Structure 1
Amino acid sequence: MSRLNVPSPDDVPDGVKGILDNVGAQFGFVPNMFATLASNPTVLDVVMTLQGTLSRVLDAKTRHTIALAVSQANGCDYCLAVHTYVSSELGGMSSDDIHLARAGSSIDPKRAAVARFAQRLVDSRGQVSDADLAAVRGAGYTDPQILAIVTVAVQVLLTNFINNVNQTDIDIPAVSSVGTP
């Protein structure tokens, strides 16, 4: 059961209702995370702005790979469910690639390097090694792209932390834990 209060639809400001309506149009319903965030319109705006802005960096499958790898490394069941759903239903990723991303890999060698790097970011709290940087560069990523990878990972960590604190009720099909393939 979620630990933070979710405002009733009648208790959210008009501007927030519009944001929730847009989220609902995208998913077909308003996921519990967004309903919870509606209790603090500024935090909802920060999350939505970050997600919108970061949708312009890197390609969608790379962003989904990062989200899955980070959510797995950070143990966020809610985010794993959401990102699995989004990656599959909206992002065109196969179930094999989703499984691999969660385990820090990918069917695509370049995205595999991103998944490993993203998990190293979480595991090392950003204190990645020279070898970690060399590996992601060796896969073809430039320093500006590495900055984008780190920023997407941090945005995912933000929602991981929110959902881990809240223990947000999973309203998207839950996923099982994944080991290393």
Structure 2
Amino acid sequence: MSRLNTPAPEDVPDGATRNLDRLGAQLGFVPNMFKTIASNPAVLDAVVNLQSTMSRVLDAKTRHTIALAVSEANGCAYCLAMHTYVSSELGGMSSRDIELSRAGGSVDRKRAAAARFAQQVVASRGRVGDEDLAAVRGAGYTDPEILALVTVAVQALLTNFLNNVNQTDMDIPDVGSPGEPG
């Protein structure tokens, strides 16, 4: 059971309804995470705007790969379920690639490097080593792209933390542990 209050639809504060409507149109439903965040329109705006902005800096499969790798590292069941759903249903990722992403890999060499780097950013709290930067650069990422990789990882951390604090009620299928059926 969620630990933070989720406003009833008629009690959603002014300014949050527009974002919820857009999310519902985009995803086909409004996820519980966003319903809860809607209790603070400024936080909802920040999360939605960050996601929108970051959707323009890296391709979707790389963003999904990072989100899955970071969500696995943080043990966020809600985010794993959501990113698995979005990655497979809207992002065209295979079950195998999703499983690899959760483990910090990918069927694509460059995306695998992004996943490993993102997990290292999380594990080291941003204090990655020179070898981590060399590895991600060696996979073909430029410094501006590395900034995007870090920001997408932090975006995933943000929603992981919000959902882990809240223990958000699952409104999408739980995906289980890596290698388990979802």
1:175 aligns with 2:175: yes
**Deviation for aligned residue 1:13:** 2.9
Deviations 1:25-73 (A, max 9, x none): 1222111000000100000000000000000001110011000000001
What stretches of structure 1 move > 4 A for 4+ residues in a row?
none
Counterparts of 1:18-33 in structure 2 under 5 Å? 18-33=18-33
Counterparts of 1:144-159 in structure 2 under 5 Å? 144-159=144-159
Distance 1:15 1:40 in 2: 9
Identity %: 77
Q: Is the CA contact (8 Å cut-off) linking 2:13 and 2:40 kept in structure 1?
A: no
**Deviation for aligned residue 1:14:** 4.0
Distance 1:126 1:177 in 2: 26
Unaligned runs of 5+ in 2: none
1:11 paired residue number? 11
Give the aligned CA root-mean-square deviation in angstroms. Answer: 0.9
2:71 paired residue number? 71
2:126 paired residue number? 126
Q: In the comparison of the two structures, how many residue pairs are matched?
A: 179
**Deviation for aligned residue 1:7:** 0.3
**Deviation for aligned residue 1:17:** 1.4
Distance 1:120 1:29 in 2: 33
Distance 1:108 1:143 in 2: 20
Task: Look up the SS of the partner of 2:15 in the other structure.
Answer: helix
Unaligned runs of 5+ in 1: none
Counterparts of 1:72-111 in structure 2 under 5 Å? 72-111=72-111
